[in-house]
C-alpha cells in the first residue's frame, strides 16, 4: 500500500544528502587545489631543539636547520625574549607560531623570506594576566612517521601530579600556572619525549612522537595506550585495544579480528562458535552499540559470524565500554564498541596486505598533500567460492560463498583550527546454493566530520552520518520462488563539544539526532504455491538526545565525573498501531498519517563515577549509569543470524532500561610491569523482551503478538591479571556472573536463565617473543555451556513425533573449551619493505565443541530418543603471508 508522508520528512532527508554530497565535493576540490599549490617557506618541515635562548640566536639556528632566511629590525635583534623549541619535522609556520606565542612578536611571509616584527597589539593583550595566573597549552598529538593523530597519549608535568590525555581526535588541553614547566609526552608504541615550555600566554603546541620500533617488538599487549590503565580516571568498565595488540593472537582461519580479540577480555563473552555476536555483562547481542567512525553497524559479521566486518588493516584503535559508558554514547544497554579507522599516512605512500588460505586483503595509503592531507583505501575479499568450482558435486560447482568489504577515508587540514574527514565502509556477503536458495546481506556507512578548535580550551566535532543494513533471502522450489527483503537505514547528525574549563574541570556536551527507517520485511512470491506477496509496514522514528558531563579533579587523589543524557524517541507515522490483549490477540488498531506523532518516550539517563587513588600504584572506583534502548533485535537463535529483525519501540514495545552499579579495585605492581583489576557489577533491567511459547518470528501478524515483556537482573565479578612487558606477556581473565529474566507467561512467572547466562568464563592469552625472527602465541578458552531449553518429553500423533517443553532455559549445553596456537616468522624487515608468515592452529587438541544439539527418534526403536551433537570445527590450520612497503 502506498503511503504519503508529509513534505518535511523527504525534504529533511534530501537536504542531509545534499549536504553530504556538497561537502564531499568541496573537500575534493580543496584537495585538488591544495595538491597544486607550491610550498611556501612556512610549509617547510623543521627539526630543531632549543632551550631558553635569545630570539636572534634562535632565528639563526632555524635558518641553519631549514634554509629559510629571516628579516627583522633592531628591536627584534636586541630583544631579551628567551625562546624554547622542541620540534620534530613540524611545519615552520607552526614552530614560529608556538615559539612566539608568549612574546610580543608576529611574522609574515615577504617574498621567500619571513619577516619578524614587533606586534604592539599583541603586547597590549599580554599586559593583563588571568586572575588565577594560569595559561593553557594545547594542540594535537601525532605520529611523526605517519601523521596519524594519536588517541589517549599522556601529557604529564614532570614532578607534579598534573596531566591530561589526548582525546579521540588527538587534541589535548592543559591549564598550568604561568612560568616554566617540563612536559613528558608518551603513548603506546611511541618514544617518550620531554620538552621544556615557558607559559606567559596561551600556547599552541602540536607534538609529533617518533615510533619506538624496539618497544613494538618487545611489548605486544598493553591495556592502555600509554602503558598502564589510568588509575586517576573515574571511567570504569573500559578496555582500550590497538591493532598492534591483536597482531599475534591466533584466531580462526588466520584473519586478525578485533571482535574475536575483545571476547578474551573479562565481562565480554562470545555468543558461540561461528557467531559474530558477543554478550557483555549479561546483556543480549543487540544491547551492544557498534560504531565505525561514529556510524552504527547493525550486523558486524561476515560469513555467519566466522569473520567480523572490521578489516584490521584499516583500523587505528578501539575502545569498549561495558555499561558505564560516557554520556555522549546512548541507545544501548550493555556496551559501546567504538572503532576508529586510520586517517592515512600524510608523510609517504605505503602498501600493505596479506594472502591467506581463504582471504586476501590490500591496504593503500599516502599523502594527497604532504603533511596536510591523506587518503586510505583498504579492501578484502574471500575466495572460498573458488574452491567450490573444483568440486565434483554439480550443486557445489554452481554455488557462491564469499564476502568483500571496502574501507575508504580522506582528510584535509584546512588550517590551524580546522580539519575535515570523510570515511566510508561498504561490505557484502553472498551465500548461494546453486539455483536453490541464497542470502546476501551487507552494511554501508558514511561519515563526514569536521573538527574545529575554537580556542585553546574549546574543541568541537560535527558529524553527518549515514548507515544502512539490509538483507535479501531467496528460495526456489520448482516453479515457485520467494524473496524476503529487510532493511534498517539511519540519517544521523551529531555535535560534540569539549571544554577544558581550567585545570580541574573538563566539560563535554552535545546533541544527537537520528532519523530511522525500518523495513521489517517485504515478501515477494511467484509461482502457484499460494503464497501472497506482501509488505510489512515500514516504521519511522526520530531519536534525539542531548548530554552534558563534567570531569572534576577535586584533589590530587580524588576525581569525580558526573553528567546526564536526555533522550527522546518519537514514533512517527504512517502506519497502523495496535492494541493487544494478554493472550497476544489484536483487539484494536489506530491508523496514523505520514509524519504524525504516534508516541514519544522521554528518558533521563544520569551517570556518575568516582576514583580515589590510594597511592601511586592503586586506586578504587565506583560508578552508576542508566541507559535506555529503543531499537530491539528479534531473534530466535542464540548466536544470531542475518535474518534477525530489528524493530523500534512502539505503543506496546517500550524502551528497555538498565541501571548499573559498579565498584572496582586496580593495582599496578613490579614497576608497572603487571596490572591487576577486579570489578563487580549489578545491573537492573526493565522492559525486557522474550518470546511467547511457540512464537513464530516470521509471522505476517504484528511482531508484538509474539512477544512478552518483563524485568531482568545481571550481576558478577570480573578479574584481570596482565603482564605488559618483556619477552613473555599476556593476560588471564576470569568472569563469574549470572543473568536472569522474570516475565509473566514464561516459566510460571518465576526467574529463569537468560539465553546469554554463563556462570564461568576463563581466557588465558600468552605471547612469547623468542627472537627477532620468531614470535609464538597461544590462548585457552573455557566457559560454561549456554542456557538452552531441551524437551522434557514427547508424544506421537498419526505417527509423527512431537516434543513438549517445560521450564525455559533450564538446561545447559556442554562446557566449551579449546586451545589455539600461533606463530609468526619475520621474513624480511628493512626501511622500505617488511614481510612475515603467520601460522595458526585453531582448536589445537580437536575438542568437538557442541554447536547445536537436536533430538530424534532412534531409527530401530521409536520409543527411544537420541540427542545428536553438531560440531563446526575441530582442527583448523591456517597460514597467512603479510607484507608492507
Q: Are 94 and 371 in contact (CB under 8 A)?
A: no
**Count of helices and strands (H, E) across the chain:** 10, 56
Mean pLDDT over 852-860 rounds to 85
pLDDT digits (tens, 9 = 90+) for 775-830: 999 999 999 999 998 988 888 887 788 888 888 999 999 999 999 999 999 998 88
Residue written as grid cell 525500518: 518
Query: Cβ neighbours of residue 683 under 8 Å, at least 6 residues apart?
Result: 281, 282, 283, 323, 658, 659, 660, 661, 713, 714, 715
- Which phi and psi (to 5°) does residue 9 adopt? -70, -55
Average pLDDT over residues 278-296: 94
Least Cα distance to 507 among 462, 556, 563 occurs for: 563
Query: Looking at the predicted structure, is the pLDDT value of residue 196 above 50?
Result: yes
The confidence band for 852, taking pLDDT boundaries of 50, 70 and 90, is: confident
Please determine, for residue 274, whether its predicted confidence score (pLDDT) is greater than 70: no
Helix axes 55-66, 92-100, angle to 10 degrees: 170
Rounded to whole angstroms, the Cα distance separating 291 from 261 reads: 17
- One DSSP character per residue, 214-238 reads HHHHH----SSTTSS--TT----SE
Query: By 3-state DSSP, what share of the chain in percent is helix, strand and coil, each rounded to 5?
Result: 10, 55, 35
pLDDT at residue 142 above 50?
yes
Residues facing residue 143 across a β-bridge? 209
Confidence of residue 12 (pLDDT cuts 50, 70, 90): very low
Summarised one tens digit per residue, pLDDT across range 663-687 is 999 999 887 789 999 999 999 999 9
| pLDDT of the residue at 32 | 46
Beta pairing, strands 179-186 & 207-209:
unpaired
Highest mean pLDDT: which range of 38-47, 607-616, 629-638, 855-864: 607-616
Q: Which residues, 6 or more positions from 37, have their beta carbon under 8 angstroms from its beta carbon?
A: 369
Phi, then psi, of 409 in degrees rounded to 5: -155, 145
Pairwise CA distance, residues 335 & 317, whole Å: 17
Q: 630, 670, 637, 635: which is closest to 651 by C-alpha?
A: 630
Q: What percent of the chain has pLDDT over 90?
A: 44
Q: pLDDT: is 45 or 34 the higher one? A: 45
Q: Averaged over 495-508, what is the pLDDT?
A: 93
Instruction: Write down the mean pLDDT value for the chain.
Output: 85
Q: What is the DSSP string of 78-141?
A: T---EEEEEEEEEEHHHHHHHHHTTTTEEEEEETTEEEEEE-HHHHHHTTS--TT-EEEEEEEE
pLDDT per residue as tens digits for the range 321-371: 998 899 999 999 999 999 999 999 998 999 999 998 888 999 999 999 988
Neighbours of 864 (CB within 10 A): 9
What are the pLDDT digits (tens) for 64-120?
888 898 888 888 888 878 888 877 777 888 888 888 877 888 888 887 888 888 887
Angle ∠(685,687,692) on CA atoms, nearest 5: 115
Q: Give the integer Cα–Cα distance in Å for 206 and 202.
A: 13
Which grid cell sits at 828? 624480511
| 395 φ, ψ (degrees, to nearest 5) | -70, -45
Question: How does pLDDT run across 392-402, given as a tens digit for each residue?
Answer: 777 767 777 88
Which helix (H) or strand (E) segment holds residue 183: the answer is strand 179-186
Integer angstrom CA distances of residue 103 from 69, 82, 84, 711, 866: 20, 9, 12, 63, 86
Per-residue pLDDT of 158-177, as tens digits, reads 877 788 889 888 999 998 88
Structure confidence at residue 30 (pLDDT):
42
User: What integer pLDDT is reported at residue 529 of this predicted model?
Assistant: 60
- Confidence band (pLDDT; 50, 70, 90) for 609? very high
**Per-residue confidence (pLDDT) for residue 374, from 0 to 100:** 94
Residues 705-714, mean pLDDT to the nearest whole number: 94
Model pLDDT, residue 533: 66
| pLDDT digit string, tens, across residues 443-479 | 999 999 999 999 989 999 999 999 999 988 888 777 7
Across 473-494, average pLDDT: 85
User: In this structure, what C-alpha cell is assigned to residue 758?
Assistant: 554463563
Total count of residues recorded for the chain: 885
Closest CA to 705 of 577, 585, 555, 850: 585
* 3-class DSSP assignment, residue 287: helix
- 14: left (phi > 0), else alpha (psi -120 to 50), else beta? alpha
Percent of the chain with pLDDT strictly greater than 70: 88
Upstream peptide bond of 347 is cis (omega within 30 degrees of 0): no
CA distance 826 to 839: 12
Would you state the pLDDT for residue 399?
Answer: 78
Question: pLDDT tens digit string along 532-550?
Answer: 667 778 999 999 999 999 9
The answer to whether 52 and 84 have CB atoms below 8 angstroms apart is yes
Mean pLDDT of 716-725: 92
- Cα(882)–Cα(885) distance, rounded to whole angstroms? 11
Distance, in Å, from the CA atom of 541 to the CA atom of 567, rounded to the nearest integer, reads 13
Which residues are CB-contacts of 545 (< 8 A; sequence separation ≥ 6)?
A: 330, 331, 511, 512, 513, 565, 566, 567, 568
pLDDT at 230: 80
Indicate the pLDDT class of residue 717, thresholds 50, 70 and 90.
Answer: very high
**Closest C-alpha to 578, from 609, 615, 537, 535:** 537
* Spatial distance between the Cα atoms of 792 and 282, rounded to a whole number of angstroms: 26
Instruction: Give residue 337's pLDDT.
Output: 94
15 against 579, higher pLDDT: 579
Quickly state the pLDDT bin for 552 (edges 50, 70, 90): very high
pLDDT for residue 641: 62
∠ at Cα 599 (594, 602), nearest 5°? 130
Beta-ladder partners of 802? 795
Q: What is the pLDDT of residue 218?
A: 39
Give kind and range of the element (H or E) at residue 197. strand 193-199
Amino acid at each position: 500500500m502506498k503511503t504519503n508522508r508529509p513534505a518535511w520528512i523527504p525534504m529533511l532527508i534530501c537536504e542531509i544528502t545534499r549536504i553530504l554530497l556538497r561537502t564531499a565535493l568541496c573537500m575534493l576540490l580543496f584537495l585538488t587545489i591544495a595538491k597544486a599549490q607550491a610550498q611556501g617557506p612556512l610549509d617547510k618541515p623543521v627539526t630543531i631543539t632549543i632551550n631558553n635562548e635569545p630570539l636572534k640566536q634562535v632565528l639563526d639556528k632555524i635558518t641553519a636547520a631549514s634554509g629559510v632566511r629571516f628579516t627583522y629590525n633592531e628591536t627584534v635583534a636586541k630583544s631579551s625574549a628567551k625562546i624554547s623549541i622542541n620540534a620534530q619535522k613540524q611545519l615552520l609556520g607552526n614552530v614560529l607560531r608556538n615559539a612566539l606565542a608568549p612574546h610580543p612578536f608576529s611574522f609574515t611571509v615577504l617574498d621567500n623570506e619571513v619577516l619578524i616584527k614587533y606586534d604592539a597589539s599583541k603586547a597590549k593583550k599580554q599586559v593583563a594576566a588571568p586572575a588565577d595566573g594560569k595559561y593553557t597549552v594545547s594542540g594535537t598529538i601525532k605520529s611523526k612517521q605517519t601523521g596519524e593523530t594519536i588517541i589517549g597519549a599522556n601529557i604529564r608535568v614532570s614532578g607534579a601530579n598534573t596531566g591530561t590525555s589526548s582525546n579521540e581526535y588527538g587534541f589535548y588541553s592543559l591549564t598550568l600556572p604561568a612560568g616554566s614547566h617540563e612536559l613528558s609526552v608518551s603513548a603506546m608504541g611511541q618514544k617518550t619525549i620531554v620538552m621544556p615550555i615557558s607559559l606567559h600566554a596561551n600556547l599552541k603546541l602540536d607534538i609529533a612522537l617518533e615510533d619506538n620500533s624496539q618497544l613494538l617488538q618487545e611489548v605486544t599487549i598493553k591495556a592502555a595506550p600509554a602503558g598502564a590503565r589510568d588509575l586517576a580516571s573515574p571511567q570504569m568498565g573500559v578496555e582500550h585495544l590497538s591493532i598492534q595488540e591483536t597482531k599475534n593472537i591466533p584466531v580462526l582461519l588466520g584473519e586478525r579480528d578485533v571482535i574475536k580479540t575483545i571476547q578474551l577480555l573479562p565481562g565480554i563473552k562470545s555468543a558461540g562458535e561461528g557467531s559474530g555476536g558477543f554478550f557483555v555483562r549479561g546483556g543480549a547481542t543487540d544491547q551492544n552499540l557498534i560504531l565505525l567512525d561514529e556510524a552504527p553497524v547493525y550486523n558486524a559479521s561476515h560469513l555467519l559470524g566466522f569473520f567480523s566486518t572490521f578489516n584490521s588493516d584499516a583500523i587505528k584503535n578501539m575502545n569498549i565500554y561495558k555499561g558505564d559508558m560516557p554520556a555522549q554514547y546512548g541507545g544501548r544497554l550493555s556496551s559501546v564498541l567504538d572503532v576508529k579507522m586510520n586517517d592515512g599516512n600524510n608523510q609517504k605512500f605505503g602498501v600493505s596486505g596479506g594472502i591467506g588460505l581463504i582471504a586476501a586483503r590490500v591496504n593503500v595509503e599516502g599523502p594527497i598533500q604532504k603533511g596536510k592531507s591523506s587518503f586510505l583505501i583498504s579492501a578484502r575479499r574471500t575466495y572460498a567460492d573458488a574452491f567450490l568450482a573444483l568440486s565434483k558435486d554439480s550443486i557445489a560447482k554452481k554455488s557462491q560463498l564469499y564476502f568483500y568489504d571496502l574501507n575508504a577515508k580522506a582528510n584535509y587540514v584546512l588550517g590551524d583550527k580546522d580539519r575535515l574527514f570523510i570515511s566510508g565502509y561498504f561490505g557484502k556477503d553472498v551465500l548461494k546454493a546453486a539455483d536453490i536458495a541464497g542470502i546476501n546481506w551487507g552494511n554501508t556507512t558514511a561519515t563526514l566530520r569536521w573538527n574545529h578548535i575554537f580556542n585553546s580550551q574549546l574543541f568541537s566535532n560535527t558529524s553527518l552520518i549515514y548507515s544502512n543494513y539490509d538483507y535479501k533471502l531467496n528460495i526456489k522450489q520448482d516453479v515457485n520462488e520467494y524473496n524476503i527483503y529487510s532493511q534498517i537505514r539511519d540519517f544521523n547528525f551529531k555535535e560534540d563539544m569539549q571544554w577544558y574549563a581550567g585545570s580541574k574541570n573538563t566539560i563535554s556536551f552535545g546533541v544527537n539526532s537520528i532519523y530511522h527507517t525500518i523495513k521489517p520485511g517485504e515478501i515477494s512470491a511467484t509461482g502457484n504455491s499460494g503464497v501472497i506477496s506482501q509488505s510489512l509496514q515500514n516504521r519511522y522514528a526520530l531519536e534525539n538526545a542531548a548530554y552534558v558531563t563534567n570531569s572534576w579533579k577535586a584533589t590530587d587523589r580524588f576525581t569525580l565525573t558526573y553528567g546526564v543524557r536526555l533522550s527522546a524517541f518519537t514514533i512517527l507515522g504512517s502506519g497502523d498501531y495496535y492494541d493487544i490483549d494478554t493472550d497476544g490477540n489484536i483487539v484494536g488498531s489506530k491508523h496514523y498519517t505520514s509524519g504524525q506523532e504516534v508516541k514519544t518516550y522521554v528518558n533521563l539517563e544520569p551517570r556518575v563515577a568516582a576514583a580515589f587513588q590510594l597511592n601511586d600504584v592503586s586506586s578504587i572506583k565506583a560508578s552508576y549509569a542508566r541507559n535506555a534502548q529503543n531499537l530491539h533485535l528479534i531473534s530466535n537463535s542464540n548466536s544470531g543470524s542475518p535474518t534477525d529483525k530489528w524493530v523500534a519501540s512502539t505503543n506496546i514495545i517500550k524502551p528497555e532500561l538498565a541501571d548499573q552499579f559498579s565498584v572496582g579495585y586496580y593495582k599496578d605492581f613490579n614497576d608497572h610491569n603487571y596490572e591487576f583489576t577486579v570489578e563487580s557489577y549489578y545491573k537492573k533491567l526493565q522492559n525486557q523482551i522474550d518470546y511467547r511459547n511457540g512464537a513464530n518470528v516470521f509471522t505476517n501478524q504484528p511482531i508484538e503478538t509474539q512477544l512478552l515483556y518483563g524485568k531482568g537482573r545481571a550481576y558478577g565479578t570480573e578479574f584481570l591479571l596482565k603482564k605488559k612487558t618483556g619477552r613473555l606477556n599476556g593476560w588471564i581473565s576470569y568472569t563469574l556472573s549470572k543473568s536472569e529474566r522474570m516475565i509473566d507467561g514464561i516459566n510460571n512467572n518465576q526467574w529463569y536463565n537468560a539465553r546469554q547466562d554463563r556462570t564461568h568464563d576463563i581466557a588465558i592469552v600468552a605471547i612469547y617473543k623468542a627472537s627477532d625472527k620468531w614470535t609464538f602465541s597461544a590462548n585457552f578458552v573455557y566457559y560454561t555451556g549456554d542456557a538452552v531449553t531441551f524437551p522434557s518429553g514427547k508424544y506421537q500423533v498419526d505417527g509423527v513425533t512431537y516434543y513438549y517443553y517445560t521450564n525455559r532455559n533450564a538446561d545447559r549445553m556442554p562446557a566449551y573449551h579449546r586451545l589455539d596456537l600461533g606463530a609468526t616468522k619475520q621474513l624480511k624487515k628493512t626501511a622500505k619493505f617488511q614481510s612475515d608468515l603467520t601460522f595458526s592452529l585453531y582448536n589445537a587438541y580437536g575438542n568437538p565443541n557442541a554447536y547445536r544439539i537436536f533430538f530424534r527418534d532412534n531409527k530401530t526403536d521409536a520409543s527411544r530418543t537420541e540427542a545428536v551433537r553438531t560440531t563446526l570445527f575441530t582442527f583448523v590450520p591456517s597460514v597467512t603471508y603479510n607484507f608492507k612497503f
